[in-house]
Amino acid sequence: MKNEKDVLILAIESSCDETAAAVVKNGREVLSNIISSQIALHTLYGGVVPEIASRKHIEKVNQVVEEALKEAEVTMDDITAIAVTYGPGLVGALLVGVSAAKAIAFATGKPLVGVHHIEGHISANYIENKELEPPFACLVVSGGHTHLVVVKDYGEYEILGKTRDDAAGEAFDKVARAIGLGYPGGPKIDKVAKEGNPEAISFPRAKVSDAVYDFSFSGLKSAVLNYLNSCEMKGIEVKQADVAASFQKSVVDVLVEHAMLAVKEYGFTKLAIAGGVASNSALRSAMQEACKKNGVTFYYPSPVLCTDNAAMIGAAGYYDYIKGIRSGYDLNAVPNLKLGER
Ligand code: KG4
Ligand code: ZN
């Protein structure tokens, strides 16, 4: 199963509320992808509680690493290097994965590679699209980030635009809470919106006047809250599915418009999407259609590779590893790590 030349990365991800480990062969073949989700635990509180997340990561990290090796049918001897997310994310959560990866690297003498979480999300596209190679444009839409990025080469990025306030996923989560859907908001809005009319309510599509590729979602969130308040004051019944569908359409329209603007301006022939919100069914179909219209090949990971996982860290870690990038035992968690920084 493993040739001498094969590079097997053991990857660990713990930046938010999933404790995950994976074994990835040569950057593109996932031998195992174990995810221990804490969603049920945080649902009680309506969102991720950082301290609870850290404690749960500590409980689970060794277990997911063992399972990842077992499912991949390899032992630690077969592993070439250890990759781990070291930022951005919740500092306490990140520290658990980083400490575990450092301990494994130290105990086994294997190289350690610190990986940027967003670089991981982008690299998720390499796993199922073996032909995908840079350069391409990528829209990263997650709970913490909304970035329109040019992937110039492996590990080389140029940020065209990003959100000025809330991330797209954050807007989904906040609106879901406001309309009584609870946490995690994105998947719940996605589901409920299927029953609603996306044209029912006219919510704003924000533009940032001095930066065409930047995003802003806080105004949309406020518009939804204002709509709900005014319905309550006027005694009008709120149709949850219509609010969900109209809000979702507003987010999707903005994301598609920005991506297509960049595609046309820069002449990209390939566009990828990444991050938790990339699993949104309305976004996937609208982007697919827009790409088709503009003669652009559209790439998107399977939903399980969109939300946080360690396989994507293994893919990104592989390209860092073959470039000769190594981290020392002083690798630390960097909660605000910028894309392209080390
Ligand atoms: O990438 P991710 O798992 O974690 C971060 O790095 O932030 O993204 C989580 C975000 C959450 O805000 C969640 O509500 C959103 O992705 N999300 C979705 C969907 N699935 C997850 N948003 C819209 N539609 C979905 N189907
Ligand atoms: Zn993420």
Give the model confidence (pLDDT) of 7-24 as tens digits.
Answer: 999 999 999 999 999 999
Ligand 1 centroid from CA 186, angstroms = 6
CB 26 within 8 A of CB 80: no
What is the distance between the alpha carbons of residues 208 and 110, in angstroms, rounded to a whole number?
46
Residue 265 contacts by C-beta under 8 Å, 6 or more apart in sequence?
none
For ligand 1, the distance from its centroid to the CA atom of residue 176, given in whole angstroms, is 12
- Per-residue pLDDT at 1 exceeds 70: no
- Taking the CA of residue 173 as reference, the ligand 1 atom at the shortest distance is 14
Whether residue 330 has pLDDT greater than 90? yes
Task: Please report where in the chains the tokens 């309506």 appear, as a residue.
Answer: 46
Which pLDDT belongs to residue 192? 98
Determine the CATH number of domain 8-124+306-322.
Answer: 3.30.420.40
Q: How far apart are CA 76 and CA 21, in angstroms?
A: 13
Best mutation site among 115, 142, 249, 306 for ligand 1 pocket (most ligand atoms within 8 Å of CB):
142
Spell out which residues have Cβ within 5 A of ligand 2, the ion: 142, 308
pLDDT at residue 289 in the model: 98
Cα separation, 24 vs 37, whole angstroms: 20
In this model, does residue 2 exceed pLDDT 80? no
Q: How far is the CA of 117 from the centre of ligand 2 (A)?
A: 6
- Nearest ligand 1 atom, CA 176: 14
- Whether 214 has a pLDDT exceeding 90, the answer reads yes
CA of 258 to the centre of ligand 2 (A): 21
What is the crossing angle of helices 168-178 and 240-266, to 10°? 170
pTM of the model as a whole? 0.96
Give yes or no on whether 8-124+306-322 and 134-301 have one common fold.
yes
Domain range annotation of the chain = 8-124+306-322, 134-301
Distance (Å) of CA 106 to CA 111, 157, 328: 9, 31, 10
pLDDT tens, position by position, 51-94 = 999 999 999 999 999 999 999 999 999 999 999 999 999 999 99
Confidence label for 137 from pLDDT (cuts 50, 70 and 90): very high
User: Going edge to edge, which strands form the sheet with 29-37?
Assistant: 29-37, 18-25, 8-13, 81-87, 112-116
Report residue 261 as tokens.
């603007």
* Confidence tier at 183 by pLDDT (50, 70, 90): confident
Which architecture, in CATH terms, is 134-301? 2-Layer Sandwich (3.30)
For the chain, the average pLDDT equals 96
State if residue 143 touches ligand 1 by the CB under 6 angstroms criterion.
Answer: yes
Atom number in ligand 1 closest to CA 18: 3
Helix axes 218-234, 168-178, angle to 10 degrees: 10
CA 7 to ligand 1 centroid distance, Å? 30
